[in-house]
Amino acid sequence: MNIIEKIIAAHTNKEVVAAGDIADISIDARVARDFGGPNVVKNLEDLGLDIDDTSKTFFTFDTNPTGSDQKYAVNQQIVRTYARKKGIKVYDIDTGIGTHTLISEGLAWPGSTAVTTDSHANILGAIGAFGQGMGDKDISAAFHKGKVWFKIPESVKITLNGKRPDNVSAKDIVLNLLGHFGANGLLGKAVEFYGKEVDKLTLDERITIASMGTEMGVIILLFTPNDEVMEYCEKCTGRKLEKIEADADAVYAEEHELDISTFVPMVSRPGKPHDTVDIETQKKTRIDSGFIGSCTNGRIEDMRIAAKILKGRKVAPGVVLKIVPATDEIWQQCLDEGIIKIFKDSGVLFSNAGCAGCAAGQVGQNGPGEITISTGNRNFPGKQGKGSVYLASPASVAASAIAGYITTEDDIPDVAPEYDYADLESRIEKAVKQEKPQDKKVEVEGHVWVINEDDIDTDMIFHNRYLQITDPAEMGQYIFDNLAGYEDFAKKAQPGDIVITGKNFGAGSSRQQAVDGFKTLGIQAILAESFGAIYERNAINAAFPILTYDTLDRIDIENRNLVNVNFETGVITNVSKNKTGNITPFSEVQLEIYKNDGLF
């Protein structure tokens, strides 16, 4: 068996498991955060469910460690109250990121299992453990039963050959991998890493790489623990541990060999973590702010790298650099090692431990028109604020903050150029203008997807295995991947396309993602003979254009024809064949909601 199969088999009543098997897995650490935790509590209380084992059940407050947001403060108190009543340990707002706490507190170890409401729980692959982010229903069940069901994924083996260049950090390694495989080249797989340079990776470096497994679309990125990792985990758990490693004859769905000596320092351009390019191509791009932290790069090694570059230097005028360690333990190390003083002398805003920029309302957010270079793992629009975010290594972020523009550690100017306030005002004006509601067009034109099927339900549109995804920007890539014959729809669909289908489209679950995913892809409208009742309401309330028709025979529409649709009049024209017909236009209510850009 490979690593994930060995871990899962050890937590079931089976000696052997293989890809595709579904198993009930006993969970060593069942965790909920301040984000999602209140819903877990509500599920348990509403259903009258008790806790299986309080010694294995935890809450972690990391998405708003300041408690400065009133809604978060209320949610945290709901969880605290429940935890006191049940005798559950809470790692409160003075602790740091929950997934890191699981490692440092010995709650996860090589070969162990953990689930949490954090989508980056697969970070535990850094120590050869199984970690998964799940929705509040799954976590509630884990609290109550101590087990969750799980389908064992196929595994992929990646071997990194060659010598790692001196200027390539762990963050650069994972950005190079993202550039190679994209966001879905390894979709749904468990990935194991091998190679001489992989064996040398420190725990902090492994955490950086494992943390971006979610952005690669994988179930988990796994490392066989080296001696350093084993020693650290044994110290944290207080006991001797057995190393987890794949069998020599383990089976893999794919095997890839890459030359790490060809890897270079990289950045992800704003909007997509997998839009990675050589940092040389982005040099001299002016920035307004920098951020070092997150579950990806908030470790002590990251702090030391930033301090080494910042020592004796100043953050450029007009630029703000925000640094947030992952855990309070790391914060204390920064204090003991004099790192905080270096940061403060350089003009850094240094904060208490937590998720920071990835969670709204915390240190690391940006404003309209602002350009940020960040060590975070995501740069989706709106994720870290209303500005644009480049992703890079701690060294590149620190160097860029000193320079006032994107650069590398070996290319920092002696004097930062003067800040161009006129350029900033122009960017802000443009961003604010884009934010203002535009008059919604009632006539659209696009190429059509003709899907001649009835009763396409919401599981075919957006399967329930993706329900833990809450960011609309991530939903589009999964549209129709459970509809036979259209599994590659999301890859092929173009912004502006229109979907034409049959009866009862959107039957099944009340799943808003099955609407929002189309919006993310830029689909302009869906035409169907009829819609599922809940889907119809969801789409109309979200201002997503859906229209019904009796027949389209007279305009002879074929796949990829160019079609023009007027929502207000119901006139439809097959531009490709110069034929015109009529469909049911928007009702008065639908038109009002559409022009209002949604029910609210």
We report the CATH number of the domain holding residue 289 as 3.30.499.10
Residues 280 and 415 in one domain: yes
Q: How far is CA 588 from CA 90, 180, 530, 570, in A?
A: 51, 49, 18, 13
Look at residues 390, 317, 325, 398 and name the one whose alpha carbon lies nearest to residue 355.
Answer: 325
DSSP 239: S
Considering the domain boundaries, does residue 370 fall inside one?
yes
Predicted local distance difference test score (pLDDT) of residue 533: 81
Among 206, 240, 261, the domain boundary falls at 261
Residues 104 and 170 in one domain: yes
Predicted local distance difference test score (pLDDT) of residue 437: 53
Considering the domain boundaries, does residue 351 fall inside one?
yes
**Residue 484 CB neighbour total at 10 angstroms:** 8
Residues 257 and 297 in one domain: no
Reduce the DSSP state of residue 145 to 3 states and report it. helix
Q: Which token pair is 576?
A: 């490709």
Question: What span, in angstroms and rounded, lies between the C-alpha atoms of 37 and 362?
Answer: 19
Question: What span, in angstroms and rounded, lies between the C-alpha atoms of 4 and 10?
Answer: 10
Residues 119 and 15 in one domain: yes
Residues 423 and 478 in one domain: no
Number of domains in the chain: 3
Task: Say if residues 308 and 339 touch (Cβ distance below 8 Å).
Answer: no
Residues 222 and 86 in one domain: yes
Give residue for tokens 């690593």.
3
Please enumerate, as own/partner, the contacts of 514-519 that have beta carbons within 8 Å and a separation of 24 or more.
514/458, 514/461, 514/462, 514/479, 514/538, 515/539, 515/542, 515/544, 516/472, 516/475, 516/542, 517/461, 517/462, 517/472, 517/475, 517/476, 517/478, 517/479, 518/476, 518/479, 518/544, 519/472, 519/476, 519/544
Residues 256 and 303 in one domain: no
Predicted local distance difference test score (pLDDT) of residue 469: 81
The order of strands in the sheet holding 320-323 is 276-278, 266-268, 388-391, 371-374, 289-292, 320-323, 349-350
Question: What span, in angstroms and rounded, lies between the C-alpha atoms of 524 and 71?
Answer: 35
Kindly give the confidence (pLDDT) of every residue in the chain, 600 residues in length, as a single tens digit, with 9 standing for 90 and above.
999 999 999 999 999 999 999 899 999 999 999 878 888 999 999 999 999 999 999 999 988 777 677 777 888 899 999 999 999 999 999 999 999 999 999 999 999 999 998 888 999 999 999 999 888 888 999 999 999 999 999 999 999 999 999 999 999 999 999 999 988 888 889 999 999 999 999 999 999 999 999 888 899 999 999 999 999 999 999 999 999 999 999 999 999 999 999 999 999 999 888 899 999 999 999 999 999 999 999 999 999 999 999 999 999 999 999 999 999 999 999 999 999 999 999 999 999 999 887 776 578 888 888 999 999 988 877 777 888 999 999 999 999 999 999 999 999 999 888 877 777 778 777 776 665 556 789 999 999 999 999 989 998 999 988 877 878 888 999 999 999 999 999 999 999 999 999 999 998 877 889 999 999 999 999 999 999 888 998 999 899 999 999 999 999 999 999 999 999 999 999 999 999 999 999 998 899 889 988 877
Residues 270 and 232 in one domain: no
Residues 303 and 167 in one domain: no
Considering the domain boundaries, does residue 341 fall inside one?
yes
Residues 338 and 478 in one domain: no
Reduce the DSSP state of residue 60 to 3 states and report it. strand
Angle between helices 203-211 and 227-237 in degrees, nearest 10: 90
Considering the domain boundaries, does residue 600 fall inside one?
no
Considering the domain boundaries, does residue 361 fall inside one?
yes
Considering the domain boundaries, does residue 359 fall inside one?
yes
Residues 251 and 113 in one domain: yes
Predicted local distance difference test score (pLDDT) of residue 344: 97
Q: Which token pair is 318?
A: 């007009």
Among 224, 240, 261, the domain boundary falls at 261
HSE of 203, CA atoms in CB hemisphere, 13 A: 18
Predicted local distance difference test score (pLDDT) of residue 137: 86
Considering the domain boundaries, does residue 408 fall inside one?
yes
| Domain of residue 480, CATH code | 3.20.19.10
Predicted local distance difference test score (pLDDT) of residue 231: 97
Task: Say if residues 339 and 357 touch (Cβ distance below 8 Å).
Answer: no
Look at residues 179, 384, 194, 203 and name the one whose alpha carbon lies nearest to residue 293.
Answer: 384
Predicted local distance difference test score (pLDDT) of residue 436: 54
Among 434, 467, 501, the domain boundary falls at 434
Residues 219 and 243 in one domain: yes
* Domain around 313: 266-434
Considering the domain boundaries, does residue 159 fall inside one?
yes
Predicted local distance difference test score (pLDDT) of residue 361: 57
**Residue 192 CB neighbour total at 10 angstroms:** 26
Task: Say if residues 203 and 300 touch (Cβ distance below 8 Å).
Answer: no
